[in-house]
Amino acid sequence: MAYGDKVIDHYENPRNVGTFGTQAEIKARKDVGVGLVGAPECGDVMQLQIRVNDQGQIEDAKFKCFGCGSAIASSSLATEWLKGRSLDEGLEIKNTQIVEELSLPPVKIHCSVLAEDAIRAAIADYKAKNGIGSQTAHAH
């Protein structure tokens, strides 16, 4: 399969690879939200971590991805886009924007869907850890 230039760029130079600690450490940290989506038997697992400051802004984001080049590129791109956003702004990232930015072919759309799922899961995890209801995200 031929990949687009942007997929290859993200694949060869992935942005923001890493974690904010081990699984156990992350679980204990209230300022970090984790999204772990996909399944090994489907060939895609994405782990997206966001670090949120007191103002509710995503200061940093890191990812790890087991998956094809498009999955790696989608999650790498998601970390770039998340940095500096508020939680609500993070939720505005849609898979279709990822498809467009990376020129993903139809067979790879599921990679972008997974990235969106990972974003939502990471934000939901942060909110759950901090007792923030989805309606009151901005009520501080």
Catalytic residues: 42, 111
Nearest-approach distance from CB 58 to other proteins, in angstroms: 19
Nearest-approach distance from CB 40 to other proteins, in angstroms: 4
Q: Which helix (H) or strand (E) holds 33?
A: strand 32-39
In this structure, are residues 89 and 102 in contact, taking their beta carbons and an 8 Å threshold? no
Nearest-approach distance from CB 65 to other proteins, in angstroms: 6
> With respect to other proteins, which residue has the nearer C-beta, 43 or 84?
43
Name the token pair of 124.
Answer: 């939901």
**Residues lying near other proteins in the complex (CB under 8 A):** 1, 3, 11, 14, 17, 19, 22-24, 36-47, 64-69, 71-72, 107, 110, 113-114, 117
Beta-strand ranges (E) seen in the chain are 32-39, 44-52, 58-66
Q: Report the C-alpha gap between 136 and 140 in whole angstroms.
A: 8
